[in-house]
């Protein structure tokens, strides 16, 4: 694995992130306007989905999810029976992690003869997000990436390899995606840099904070309004005592409406001894998380669990959300999160239950051997024997 992120990197020449965001917003609004003019128009609902997806993911505007749900609702009122409506509904349900509904819509789309390639693509996304048949998903992802060579297909393959704990391969594929990118939009480059940051900060068994920070900085360099990259980089800064740097990163991210920005800012302020300043942000984060969970419970269950396990200071709510997340998408990471929360809150019984479930579902997978759950299982077994 190439552990030096600087060895093959210089700032790529892409459109300035500010310009790209202005243009994305302009295209997003225009696509809605055209939809209102003629909702049946070929490709217009699909354009909205892509614009809103970019807005949610890369600009951190969470209200994009509300708009997408409104789109799906409007389409169902206009043309409930069409395969196209079902495909859009499936995509929107998948983006908000309502995977059971997404599968139902997808089955409907298939029945109405939606293009098979599109159905398979969405189904593969859902399988991967839910940790279902990952070996099958891997061969499908490899085939698609080899055939198309497109950045989005390479990144999806990299993400799957990371889920399977094949970190060296994931790193290689992400870098390949960067090398082979042939356009000037900053969004894809920022996205891959962010994925590499996640890989080094949160996925590898021994996190490499410096490497991860480099990649997050690059993501922000390409796209200054990349809210999630700011939040993740701020976490690294805060954990290494650079709380003022964390604060400076997070302040511009507050306008996105992502409650995690307020939460991390509160943490940074608390570390600086500014408890009073932090209180307001923490309260606002709690209110915003609950509002989000009310609207998109499954999409934010894992984020909410992380908040309540931390400064949100409500371990019962944290565990409730983490277990909800496991039930919705029983990935190894979801089990790890639920187990950590249960264990750290002293709920040994719940921790054992989660561990047992995880072992039943993932015990035979190669990835389990590199999971902390495997070690925990051995410890429990040894404890029981002793």
Partner 1 sequence: MSDHIDGPRQIGDPAADLTDLFAFTSPENPSRTVLTACLFPSAGADAMFSNAVSCSIVVRRASVAGLGDAAQFRTGDQEIRFTCRFDLLERAPGAKPVQRGTFTLPDGQTLRVVVNDKNGASTPDGIFRIFAGLRSDPFYLAWLFANMRPIPNLLEHDNVLCIVIEFDTRRALDTDKGSLFGVIAETIPLAPTSPVGPLPLRLDWVGRPEQTNMRLNYGPGIEDIRDLWNQQTPFAIASEHRGMFLQRLKESFAHWDMRDNKQDWTPSALDANARVFLDDYLLFDVAKPITDTSHLEIEKSTINGRTYETGGGRTVDSNVIDILVTWLVNRDREFLRGGATRATKPGTTVFPYFAEPNMELQDIAESVDLDAAPDRVWTLIGQFDPSWHPLVASVRMIGSGIGQLRIIETIDGKQIVERLEAADNSHRSYSYSNISGLPVSSYIGALEVNPRGSGSSVTWRSQFLPNDQPDIVVKAIVTTLFKTGLASLKSRLGDSR
Q: Which is nearer to partner 1, 156 or 266 (CB)?
A: 156
**Site size toward partner 1, by CB under 8 A:** 73
Residue among 4, 29, 135, 280 that touches partner 1 (CB under 8 A): 29
**Residue 18 binds to partner 1 (criterion: CB under 8 A):** yes
Which range of residues in 6-14, 102-110, 236-244, 342-350 is near partner 1 by CB under 8 A? 6-14
**Residue 369 binds to partner 1 (criterion: CB under 8 A):** no
x/- track of binding to partner 1 for residues 131-170 (CB under 8 A): -------------------xxx--xx--xx--x-------
Residue among 41, 283, 316, 348 that touches partner 1 (CB under 8 A): 41
Whether 222 contacts 53, CB under 8 Å = no
Query: Angle at the Cα of 122 (from 117 to 125), degrees rounded to 5?
Result: 125
303: nearest Cα among 97, 154, 159, 108: 97
Residue among 5, 31, 234, 318 that touches partner 1 (CB under 8 A): 31
Which range of residues in 76-84, 237-245, 275-283, 309-317 is near partner 1 by CB under 8 A? 76-84
Cα–chain center distance at 83: 27
Site residues (CB under 8 A) for partner 1, limited to 290-319: 302-303, 306
Q: What one-character DSSP code corresponds to residue 202?
A: I
Distances (CA, A) of 333 to 28, 155, 174: 33, 19, 20
Whether 76 contacts 85, CB under 8 Å = yes
**Residue 355 binds to partner 1 (criterion: CB under 8 A):** no
**Residue 366 binds to partner 1 (criterion: CB under 8 A):** no
Tell the smallest beta-carbon distance from residue 158 to partner 1 (Å): 9
DSSP codes, 106-125: HHHHHHTT--HHHHHHHHHH
The 3-state DSSP class for residue 258 equals: coil
**Residue 92 binds to partner 1 (criterion: CB under 8 A):** no
Q: For residue 104, which phi and psi values (nearest 5 degrees)?
A: -65, -45
**Residue 100 binds to partner 1 (criterion: CB under 8 A):** no
Buried b (16+ CB within 10 A) or exposed e, 20-31: bbeebeebbeeb
Q: Which is nearer to partner 1, 22 or 356 (CB)?
A: 22
**Residue 61 binds to partner 1 (criterion: CB under 8 A):** no
Residue among 133, 135, 143, 202 that touches partner 1 (CB under 8 A): 202
Which range of residues in 18-26, 98-106, 267-275, 308-316 is near partner 1 by CB under 8 A? 18-26
DSSP codes, 260-283: HHHHHHHHHHHHTT-HHHHHHHHH
């Amino acid at each position: 694995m190439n552990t030096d992120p600087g060895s093959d990197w210089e700032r790529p020449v892409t459109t300035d992130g500010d310009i790209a965001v202005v243009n994305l917003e302009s295209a997003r609004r225009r696509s809605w306007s055209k939809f209102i003019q003629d909702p049946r128009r070929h490709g217009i609902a699909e354009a909205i989905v892509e614009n809103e997806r970019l807005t949610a993911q890369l600009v951190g505007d969470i209200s994009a999810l509300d708009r997408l749900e409104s789109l799906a609702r409007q389409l169902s009122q206009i043309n409930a029976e069409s395969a196209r409506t079902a495909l859009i509904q499936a995509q929107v349900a998948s983006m908000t992690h309502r995977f059971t509904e997404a599968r139902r819509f997808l089955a409907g789309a298939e029945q109405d003869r939606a293009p098979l390639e599109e159905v398979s693509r969405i189904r593969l996304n859902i399988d991967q997000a839910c940790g279902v048949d990952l070996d099958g998903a891997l061969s499908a992802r490899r085939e698609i990436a080899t055939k198309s060579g497109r950045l989005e297909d390479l990144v999806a393959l990299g993400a799957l390899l990371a889920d399977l704990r094949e970190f060296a391969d994931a790193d290689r594929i992400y870098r390949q995606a960067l090398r082979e990118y042939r356009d000037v939009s900053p969004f894809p480059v920022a996205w891959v840099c962010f994925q590499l940051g996640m890989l080094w900060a949160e996925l590898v068994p021994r996190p490499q904070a410096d490497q991860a920070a480099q990649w997050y900085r690059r993501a922000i360099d390409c796209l200054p309004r990349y809210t999630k990259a700011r939040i993740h980089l701020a976490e690294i800064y805060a954990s290494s005592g650079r709380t003022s740097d964390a604060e400076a990163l997070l302040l511009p991210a507050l306008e996105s409406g992502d409650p995690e920005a307020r939460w991390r800012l509160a943490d940074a302020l608390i570390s600086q001894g500014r408890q009073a300043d932090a209180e307001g942000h923490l309260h606002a984060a709690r209110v915003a998380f609950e509002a989000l969970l009310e609207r998109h419970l499954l999409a934010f269950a894992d984020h909410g669990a992380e908040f309540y396990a931390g400064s949100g200071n409500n371990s019962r709510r944290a565990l409730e959300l983490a277990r909800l997340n496991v039930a919705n998408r029983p990935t190894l990471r979801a089990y790890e999160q639920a187990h950590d929360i249960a264990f750290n809150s002293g709920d040994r019984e719940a921790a054992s239950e989660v561990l047992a479930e995880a072992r039943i579902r993932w015990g035979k997978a190669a990835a389990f051997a590199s999971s902390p759950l495997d070690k925990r299982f051995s410890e429990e077994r040894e404890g029981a024997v002793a």
